[in-house]
Amino acid sequence: MNFPNLGGQNQWYPFMDRPLPEQVDGVLQNPAVVPLHNVDPLPPSARYVVVGAGIHGMSTAYHLAMALEKSGKGKGSDVVLIDKQGPGAGATGLACGCVRNLYMTGPLHSILRASVEVWESDPVNFGFQQVGYVSIGEENQTQDYIALNQSQIDSGYPSDLYMGDDAHRFLTSLWPDFKTDKCDVVLHEHRSGYAGTHMVMWGLDQKCQQWGVQRVYGVEVTGYELSSGSGGGVGGGSVTAVETSAGTISCEQVVVGAGAWTPRHWEWLGGPNTLDIVYPDGHVAVDHAMWTYWRLLEGEVWMPPGVDYRTADGKDAPVLHVELMNTPVYGDDGEMIQDHVYTYTRYAAERVGAPGLQGGTIPIPIGDSAQVEPYGHLSDLYQADDWFPEYYCKTLGMLFKRFENLEPYFKQRRNGGIGAFTPDNVPIFDHVADNAFVIADSNHGFKMIGVGKLTADMLVGGTKPWELEPFTFGRFAAGTTFGDRNSNCPWV
């Protein structure tokens, strides 16, 4: 079978001439990114069912199994992890892998502190490169940077702030060829970096095995059996069993980490499709869609001969994030491509297949419905736009002398992926049924590996960790809706 290669890309799914994955009902299925070994059959019952083997489901299953064993409150095999494909078949397997704490939403700083503790717990098997994260803004973001620097420090996540000439000196000390003229404010996060997305899936899958998790891959959840509940969840019911393509499994607790498929699970669990949103200033958005799908724009570039992405002292460079809201980007033909710079970049040899960079720009909203299958690189609908390669290369050339004229080195291959965003683009971590906890990260949570640990702490310890509290669904009615941000991007 031939897959249409509409863009004439020289590398499209997903690496060179790798065979096409299986189909279900005529639709190609995005496969797991690690080999599947010792997969378990679906048992008839379990104390805990975790749905989705992405970053959140796998982190939850691993931490839950470990906490049950260590506390003596249960066994690792009390946890059943179900995925219709296997580890990394959703956004986690495609993500750029950037781990940062650059958020204007203050409560996320503690989520990231908890997450980086997990990344640091086994950097080798999680593929975590703690190279730091350097973000740059223009003068109009100075106050935001001052606030987030202080909030990061308060939450145990040290960062340094530089302004004006200090910012310029800092940047050229890292990269002597950096063009600093538009760079008014710079934040340097020390505990951040990037992670190999396939490596962390492999590492978490190994850890799930080691702690006895029953890993059920190739089984699709088709619904949830609900009884009337105590009203402790968003939807009001209580899950008695999970229905799957391999039969029904009764259970006491469910955790869902379903990425772009979250809206379907949310609805099955009784969550609403629309809601009224109260903002802190009192205004109300009535009947707002619960979920909005966005598509991501990312790409990869090879290093030109003799060029590297290292610091002046030869180290793997920090991840770079630049938003210049008042600086347009022009193409070779003199036409403006976008009226702003928004670019992020990390060294990505393990993804590019050779020394190279991976990065992207601001995602684009699709609407309140999207074709989720086939997912990721398999989708004809949601790949980066034609303008993206030139834009991405130009932004790097605007910033580094060494990256001028990078366009011929752009790697033409599919890089798409979509996500389901919440109404304020900030995660929801909450019970939808009484006993069904949903981790809906609003498609920026690869970095949030610690949410699975906090969820496990809650399930085993019986108390919800304070870090999770601000991210309840109730914020939309209570008027503590997030979304106050000075950025063109929804992810801050």
Ligand X SMILES: Cc1cc2nc3c(=O)[nH]c(=O)nc-3n(C[C@H](O)[C@H](O)[C@H](O)COP(=O)(O)OP(=O)(O)OC[C@H]3O[C@@H](n4cnc5c(N)ncnc54)[C@H](O)[C@@H]3O)c2cc1C
Binding site for ligand X (CB under 6 A): 51-57, 82-85, 89-92, 94-98, 220-221, 257-261, 296, 298, 417, 419, 441, 443-447
Nearer to ligand X, 44 or 462 (CB): 44
Tokens representing 466? Answer: 């304070």
Q: Which residue has the tokens 């001969």?
A: 305
**CA-based nearest residue to 482, from 419, 421, 426, 420:** 426
Q: Smallest distance from the beta carbon of 195 to ligand X, in angstroms?
A: 9
Distance of CA 71 to the CA centre of its chain: 30
Task: Look at residue 433 and give its three-state secondary structure.
Answer: strand
Positive/negative CA dihedral, 116, 119, 123, 126: negative
Nearer to ligand X, 167 or 458 (CB): 458
Distance of CA 60 to the CA centre of its chain: 15
Q: Smallest distance from the beta carbon of 87 to ligand X, in angstroms?
A: 7
Nearer to ligand X, 57 or 450 (CB): 57
Nearer to ligand X, 51 or 171 (CB): 51
**CA-based nearest residue to 195, from 445, 416, 452, 451:** 445
Nearer to ligand X, 109 or 444 (CB): 444
End-to-end CA distance of the chain: 42
Q: Which residue has the tokens 């000196």?
A: 169
Nearer to ligand X, 162 or 482 (CB): 482
Q: Smallest distance from the beta carbon of 303 to ligand X, in angstroms?
A: 20
Nearer to ligand X, 53 or 167 (CB): 53
Q: Smallest distance from the beta carbon of 453 to ligand X, in angstroms?
A: 14
**CA-based nearest residue to 70, from 473, 456, 468, 485:** 456
Nearer to ligand X, 34 or 167 (CB): 34
Residues sharing a CB contact under 8 Å with residue 292, sequence separation 6 or more, in sequence order:
365, 366, 367, 368, 420, 421, 423
Tokens representing 481? Answer: 């809706």
Q: Smallest distance from the beta carbon of 4 to ligand X, in angstroms?
A: 21
Q: Smallest distance from the beta carbon of 359 to ligand X, in angstroms?
A: 9
Q: Please state, in angstroms and rounded to a whole number, the distance separating the CA atoms of residues 122 and 54.
A: 18
Nearer to ligand X, 162 or 343 (CB): 343
* Side-chain half-sphere exposure of 2, counting CA atoms within 13 A: 3
Q: Smallest distance from the beta carbon of 419 to ligand X, in angstroms?
A: 6
Q: Smallest distance from the beta carbon of 94 to ligand X, in angstroms?
A: 4
Q: Please state, in angstroms and rounded to a whole number, the distance separating the CA atoms of residues 217 and 36.
A: 8
Could you check whether the bond before residue 374 is cis, i.e. omega within 30 degrees of 0?
yes
Q: Smallest distance from the beta carbon of 427 to ligand X, in angstroms?
A: 9
Q: Please state, in angstroms and rounded to a whole number, the distance separating the CA atoms of residues 137 and 342.
A: 10
Q: Smallest distance from the beta carbon of 88 to ligand X, in angstroms?
A: 7
Buried-exposed string 151-173: b where 16+ CB fall within 10 A, e elsewhere:
bbeebebebebbbeeebbebbee
Q: Smallest distance from the beta carbon of 257 to ligand X, in angstroms?
A: 4
Count of CB atoms within 10 A of residue 350's CB? 17
Nearer to ligand X, 51 or 167 (CB): 51
Q: Please state, in angstroms and rounded to a whole number, the distance separating the CA atoms of residues 244 and 268.
A: 13
* Side-chain half-sphere exposure of 375, counting CA atoms within 13 A: 25
Nearer to ligand X, 57 or 423 (CB): 57
Q: Smallest distance from the beta carbon of 230 to ligand X, in angstroms?
A: 26
For residue 186, what are the β-bridge partners? 136, 162
Nearer to ligand X, 97 or 196 (CB): 97
Distance of CA 422 to the CA centre of its chain: 13
Helix (H), strand (E) counts: the chain: 11, 28
Task: Look at residue 394 and give its three-state secondary structure.
Answer: helix
